[in-house]
Structure 1
């Protein structure tokens, strides 16, 4: 549900929705064509010999990371009114690791702002319960601290996230919860077909695509979520505003204006910057000053050190 500052703000946002761009969603349709078309075009150039797999790698990394941003946009009800069609548009597993249907389910649970960052409730939290932290062996604590740094997020974040997902899936099956088994089977089959096509058509070995393309792509995508949430008493103060530059805004489809997205989850990506500019001072106050001056600033400050402690500082007082 959208959250407005006042009636005037609601009217301003409604005005955005009446324009040609919002009604046709042409920027999102263009994005779909560019991402899928670009992915096929790069691999076609590898197939024809115009690009080596090594030269194609940076392009494919960016396209796969961009595709994950597109998937996030599609699950929020764009570019059509039909959820099944939006799901179909985001379903191809270019980045391999996460079944799209499960990502959609967990991300919708994440949009409960009153429970943001709370371990066991927020599926996208970067924290653990204090009692869990106390029981962790030293080596796991090292990994948790590392994942909360910029470099660690890129390098260690992907394997930790994928391992956590697989452990969770295995635990569910062991406990007799087979609800997601069809989703996993379909996803594994789709990934197998994709990797087979990539290897046989473009000559990119399947293991290279996994290790050198999708792994870094997931790390690049995870930079956005390094410090977009923090533990704070007020739910809205837990959500960041990152005033990133144009390139990173485009890569993350303006989700760097994260508080705006949480307040107005149905607003398409191309209107988030304008919505932020309309009420910039209000949003900066609302997030309690949790404003970041771009991803370069984030790197300079947290390249090698953790943004904050992995153990949630006041979980008993947070919404549960």
Structure 2
């Protein structure tokens, strides 16, 4: 549900929909073309011998991370009014690990602001229930704390996220719930075709694509969510605003303005900065001062130090 500060802000947001960019969604189409065109272009350059693998690798890492940002945008109803078409545009598993349909399902559940950060309710939480934390062995606690640091997020965040996803998928299957079986089979088949294709056509070994490209890409994508939510009493104070520079804003498609996105989830990525500037002081107040001065600031402050404790501070998981 869209949330406004007042009627003037509501009119301002409604007026954004009349802009040419909003009506045509050309910035999103441009990003789609850049990501898929760039990905195929890099593979074509590898195939032709015009680009060595060591130079192509960082390009593919960034393109795969950018593709994950695009998938998030497509989930929220862009660039068309047709959900099936938007789904098709985001379905190719360039970054391999997460089935797009599963990500879409879990992410929409994440947009219940009253349950943000609550373990067992928010599927994108970075916290553990206190009682579970007390039972975890020491090595798991070390991993959880490490994942809440910048470099820990990049290095061990991906395997922990993938392991949690697979564990979550295995539970319903063991209980006889086969709703997602077709989705997993389709995803596995698409990944197999993709890995075979990049190896046969571009000469990129399938294991190299997994380990040296998609793993770092997932780590890069996960930097955005390192500290975009915190366990605060007020739901809106749980959502950060990161005043990042233009490069990181483009990589994450302005999802660094995370409170604005949660308030106005239907607003396209290219209009989030304007919506924020229209009410900058109000947004900063609304999030309770949870404002971060760019991702470099996160790196300086939390390179090897946890942003906060992994155990969720609300025993009952409710708003206090």
Normalised by the shorter chain, which TM-score bucket?
A: over 0.9
Runs of 4 or more, structure 1, over 6 Å off, are none
CA distance in 2, matches of 1:95, 1:160: 16
**Does residue 1:38 correspond to 2:38, yes or no?**
yes
In the other structure, the counterpart of 1:88 is: 88
The answer to whether the 8 Å contact 1:118/1:319 transfers is: no
Trace 1:296-307 onto structure 2 (pairs within 5 A): 296-307=296-307
In the other structure, the counterpart of 1:229 is: 229
Trace 1:189-208 onto structure 2 (pairs within 5 A): 189-208=189-208
CA distance in 1, matches of 2:270, 2:59: 23
Trace 1:87-236 onto structure 2 (pairs within 5 A): 87-236=87-236
The answer to whether the 8 Å contact 2:233/2:319 transfers is: no
The answer to whether the 8 Å contact 2:118/2:317 transfers is: no
The answer to whether the 8 Å contact 1:237/1:288 transfers is: yes
CA distance in 2, matches of 1:303, 1:175: 41
CA distance in 2, matches of 1:174, 1:122: 22
CA distance in 2, matches of 1:146, 1:271: 35
Find the residue that maps to 1:61 and give its secondary structure: helix
CA distance in 1, matches of 2:121, 2:104: 16
Find the residue that maps to 1:154 and give its secondary structure: helix
Residue by residue, what CA displacement relative to the aligned partner does 1:178-229 show, whole Å, maximum 9, x if unpaired?
1101000000000000000000000000000000000000000000000000
> How far off is 1:161 after superposition?
0.2
> How far off is 1:126 after superposition?
0.2
Find the residue that maps to 2:313 and give its secondary structure: coil
Aligned residues: 320
CA distance in 2, matches of 1:146, 1:315: 23
> How far off is 1:176 after superposition?
1.1
Residue by residue, what CA displacement relative to the aligned partner does 1:127-173 show, whole Å, maximum 9, x if unpaired?
00000000000000000000000000000000000001011111111
Find the residue that maps to 1:97 and give its secondary structure: coil
In the other structure, the counterpart of 2:79 is: 79
In the other structure, the counterpart of 1:276 is: 276
In the other structure, the counterpart of 2:247 is: 247
Residue by residue, what CA displacement relative to the aligned partner does 1:246-273 show, whole Å, maximum 9, x if unpaired?
0000000000000000000000000000
Gaps of at least 5 residues in structure 1 are none
The answer to whether the 8 Å contact 1:149/1:307 transfers is: yes
> How far off is 1:121 after superposition?
0.2
CA distance in 1, matches of 2:111, 2:53: 39
Find the residue that maps to 2:15 and give its secondary structure: helix
> How far off is 1:315 after superposition?
3.5
> How far off is 1:52 after superposition?
1.3
The answer to whether the 8 Å contact 1:118/1:315 transfers is: no
Give the alignment's Cα RMSD to 1 decimal. 0.9
> How far off is 1:54 after superposition?
1.6
In the other structure, the counterpart of 2:67 is: 67
CA distance in 2, matches of 1:98, 1:258: 22
CA distance in 1, matches of 2:118, 2:168: 17
> How far off is 1:317 after superposition?
5.4
Find the residue that maps to 2:65 and give its secondary structure: helix
TM-score, normalised with respect to structure 2 = 0.99
The answer to whether the 8 Å contact 2:61/2:213 transfers is: yes
